[in-house]
């Protein structure tokens, strides 16, 4: 059984994956208190399925970029489980999880997460290389190229998206209007609640690395913190 934990932003999640079956998943918007919410909810989804923490064989965790305080909540719990039970630990970049369900559609994908003060984190994904996408990534069965993780306001995002893209992930409602105005014709905000990040995607990406024996070290695994230069 693989457990996925995501508190990278207020959009929080938990998922349990057995073989490649999604046993349970919980996604919710936190009210500033992920430290208080995460463990009781984990206890609940385990209890619903008659499971105990001992049944968890691997832990995947959302690594960011995201909220500085949020990232530490899931990562400290994931590391605690990894150290206490000797469980393999798998760090998953948060935006990779947002992009995962959409990359195989063949379009340019831009995954977004809120960064506060009108800013967002983002990364673009495409099947073809480009000077703006220097990183090779493998998401599930899909091979492609990713930009570096970026932090900026909506005008900066607009400048980074010269061509039409599928905008996915967690798009702050306060920015919808600016995005529609500055990115008109290039992106559409289609049902943001249905294109948001899910804990199942963190679990799916962690699963692939677990099967490949590609684990992270609990002592050195660090969140992806982005700050403005």
Partner 1 sequence: MTTLVSNSEDMTEQIGEALGRILQPGDVVALIGDLGAGKTCMTRGIARGLGIADPVTSPTFILVAEYRTARGFPLYHADCYRLGDAAVAEAESIGLDEMMEGSGVAVVEWAERIDRLLPDDTLRIELVATDDLERSLTLHAGGPRGRLMMETLAQAAAGVLT
Nearer to partner 1, 33 or 128 (CB): 33
Residue for token pair 């660090």: 222
225 binds partner 1 (CB under 8 A): yes
- Give, in degrees to the nearest 5, the angle at Cα 167 between 192 and 16: 60
CA 137 to chain centre: 14
31 binds partner 1 (CB under 8 A): yes
Nearer to partner 1, 48 or 68 (CB): 68
DSSP string, 100-130: TTTGGGSS-EEEEEEEETTEEEEEEEESS-B
Q: Whole-number minimum distance, CB 67 to partner 1, in Å? A: 6
Among 20, 32, 55, 130, indicate the residue that binds partner 1 (CB under 8 A): 32
29 binds partner 1 (CB under 8 A): no
Instruction: With CB under 8 A as the rule, give the number of residues binding partner 1.
Output: 10
Q: Answer for the pair 142, 104: CB distance below 8 angstroms, yes or no.
A: yes
Q: Whole-number minimum distance, CB 102 to partner 1, in Å? A: 28
φ/ψ of 198, rounded to 5, equals: -125, 145
Element (H, E) at 13: strand 11-18
Q: Whole-number minimum distance, CB 114 to partner 1, in Å? A: 10
- Give, in degrees to the nearest 5, the angle at Cα 211 between 205 and 212: 95
| CA nearest to 107, candidates 174, 216, 215, 187 | 187
Give the x-and-dash track for 58-97 against partner 1 (CB under 8 A): ---------xxxx---------------------------
177 binds partner 1 (CB under 8 A): no
Nearer to partner 1, 106 or 116 (CB): 116
Residues that bind partner 1 (CB under 8 A): 31-32, 67-70, 116-117, 225, 227
């Amino acid at each position: 059984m693989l457990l996925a934990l995501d508190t990278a932003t207020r959009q929080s999640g938990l998922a349990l994956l057995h073989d490649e079956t999604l046993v349970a998943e919980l996604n919710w918007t936190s009210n500033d208190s992920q430290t208080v919410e995460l463990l009781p909810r984990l206890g609940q989804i385990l209890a619903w399925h008659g499971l105990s923490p001992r049944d968890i064989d691997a832990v995947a965790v959302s690594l960011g970029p995201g909220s500085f305080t949020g990232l530490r909540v899931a990562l400290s719990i994931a590391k605690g489980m990894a150290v206490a039970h000797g469980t393999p630990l798998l760090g998953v970049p948060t935006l990779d999880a947002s992009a995962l369900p959409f990359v195989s559609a063949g379009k340019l994908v831009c995954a977004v997460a809120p960064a506060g003060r009108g800013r967002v984190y983002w990364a673009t994904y495409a099947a073809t290389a480009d000077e703006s996408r220097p990183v090779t990534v493998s998401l599930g069965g899909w091979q492609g190229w990713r930009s570096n993780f970026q932090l900026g306001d909506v005008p900066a995002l607009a400048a980074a998206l010269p061509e039409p893209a599928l905008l996915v992930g967690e798009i702050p409602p306060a920015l919808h209007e600016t995005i529609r105005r500055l990115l008109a014709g290039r992106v559409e905000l289609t049902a943001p609640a249905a294109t948001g990040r899910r804990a199942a995607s963190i679990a799916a990406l962690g699963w692939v690395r677990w099967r490949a024996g590609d684990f992270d070290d609990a002592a050195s695994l660090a969140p992806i913190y982005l700050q403005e230069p």
